[in-house]
Amino acid sequence: MKLLEDRIMAEGRFLPPEIIKVDSFLNHQIDPILMEEMGKEFYRLFADAGVTKVLTIEASGIAMALEAARCFRVPMVFAKKSKTRNISGDVWTAPVFSFTHQTMNNITISKQYLNRGDKVLVIDDFLANGEALRGLISVCEQAGAEVVGCGVAIEKYFQPGGHELREKGYRVEALASIESMNAETGEVVFHH
Amino acid sequence: MKLLEDRIMAEGRFLPPEIIKVDSFLNHQIDPILMEEMGKEFYRLFADAGVTKVLTIEASGIAMALEAARCFRVPMVFAKKSKTRNISGDVWTAPVFSFTHQTMNNITISKQYLNRGDKVLVIDDFLANGEALRGLISVCEQAGAEVVGCGVAIEKYFQPGGHELREKGYRVEALASIESMNAETGEVVFHH
């Protein structure tokens, strides 16, 4: 998606070893017009998949997942990173390691909101090692829901997460896929 | 906002002592069409306020804040609940007590994304004791930004947060304001 690639080149910062910071428009300050366009693109990519629910994880995935769900006119559910008092009853849960926080979290989803028969589009902001998507896929499997696709804003194509998921048969689409980056020079090559 | 009041009555669950659970459409599973309508309503209420930025706190405020920001065509910024590795440099911070989690968190906002001259609409899902809004107002004051309004989805009008903020001169608008509730009978009276 050229709009997102252009924005990454204009505002992204590339830090050693392989960190891409996009918090001016994607995951701290958020550009709602860009989110709207990204939502439309996820819809275009998965329009034939029979999506009944969009699933993401708090917090950075929520904005783009909401805009996708708005296009599909289906509910969006976000997994929570720790079990809170106000999620009552039974939950689906899976462990997810966060490289950002260097912590292991349990993600949880109330069983009420993910069911057998759901056709789920899983969305997240970044795909690198695939930890978050694997956790979200795990809760779908526990629920007996079908994962019809995975959509991410930015894939680090030089890391293994996306490749592993595709090898397992999942349909994974990235709106911007980074083939290589040089944090020293700021040089970025997109995979198309 | 009748649409939201109707939804609260249809799907909300009321638990002792004074808990309102709306996680089927507002803060776990999210109805994107309702969010869109709520965003439009926030826009209608604060259209004259010169809003340059919408500010909220992760995670439940993000969806409605995004939809409001999309109407205003301004950036949305969400405060994070703990300082993470990937927020670099200086941050504005304030302590916020979470009744839901019974923990004290620091909320943080990168200084890059909240500045003197910003006219900020602060948005959150619930207003009860006002802890989250006070924290968000505090970071705006630290930044020299002007809080032009506070918008919440649901105010517990029988709790002190909203009254205290209005006494201090803040413009506070709730899309649904609950005057009283009886968790035993499910009886709810809205304040208009």
Alpha-carbon distance of B75 to B79, in angstroms, equals 13
State pLDDT tens for residues A110-144.
999 999 999 999 999 999 999 999 999 999 999 99
Residues lower than pLDDT 70 in chain A: 83-89
H or E element at residue B60: none
Query: How many Å apart are CA B29 and CA A54, to the nearest integer?
Result: 10
Residue with tokens 């198309």: A192
* Residue A104 pLDDT: 85
Q: Would the pTM of this model clear 0.90, i.e. be above it?
A: yes
CA distance, residue A98 to nearest chain B CA (Å): 11
CB contact under 8 A, A76 and B36: no
Q: Does A63 touch chain B (CB under 8 A)?
A: yes
* Closest Cβ–Cβ partner in A21, A28, A58 for B113: A28
* Interface pTM, i.e. ipTM: 0.95
**Interface contact B31, partner A, CB < 8 A:** yes
Per the CB < 8 Å rule, is A30 touching B100? Answer: no
pLDDT of residue B88: 55
CA atoms of B100 and B82, how far apart (whole Å): 16
Residue B142: predicted pLDDT: 95
Q: What is the pLDDT along chain B (192 residues), one digit of tens a residue?
A: 999 999 999 999 999 888 999 999 999 999 999 999 999 999 999 999 999 999 999 999 999 999 999 999 999 999 998 755 555 568 999 999 877 778 888 999 999 999 999 999 999 999 999 999 999 999 999 999 999 999 999 999 999 999 999 999 999 999 999 999 998 888 999 999
Q: How high is the pLDDT of residue A186?
A: 85
Contact assignment for B87 to A28 by CB distance below 8 Å: yes
Mutate to test the interface with A, among B18, B19, B30, B105 (most CBs of A within 10 A): B30
Alpha-carbon gap, residue A144 to A115, rounded angstroms: 6
Q: Is B103 on the interface with A (CB under 8 A)?
A: no
Taking the C-alpha atoms of residue A91 and residue A78, their distance in angstroms, rounded to an integer, is 13
What is the enclosing helix (H) or strand (E) of A113? Answer: none
For A92, residues 6+ apart whose C-beta sits below 8 A from its C-beta are A108, A109, A110, A111, A114, A139, A142, A143
- pLDDT value at residue B47: 98
- Å from A83 to nearest chain B CA? 9
Residue B176 three-state SS: strand
Q: What is the pLDDT of residue A169?
A: 98
At position A74, the amino acid (one-letter code) is: V
Side chain identity at residue B145, one-letter code? A
Give the per-residue pLDDT at B89. Answer: 64
Kindly state the DSSP code that residue A80 receives in the 8-state scheme: B
Q: Is B62 on the interface with A (CB under 8 A)?
A: yes
Separation CA A79–CA A62 (nearest Å):
10
Of A33, A85, A102, nearest to B73 by CB-CB distance is: A33
Tokens linked to A6? 């252009």
Interface residue A156 vs chain B (CB under 8 A): no
Q: Which amino acid is at B162?
A: G
From B25's Cα to the closest Cα of chain A, the distance in A is 8
Disruptive mutation site among A11, A15, A20, A30 for chain B (greatest number of B CBs within 10 Å): A30
B192 lies within 8 A of chain A by CB:
no
Contact B28 A69 (CB under 8 A): no
Residue A129 Cα distances to A34, A44, A163, B168, angstroms:
25, 26, 9, 48
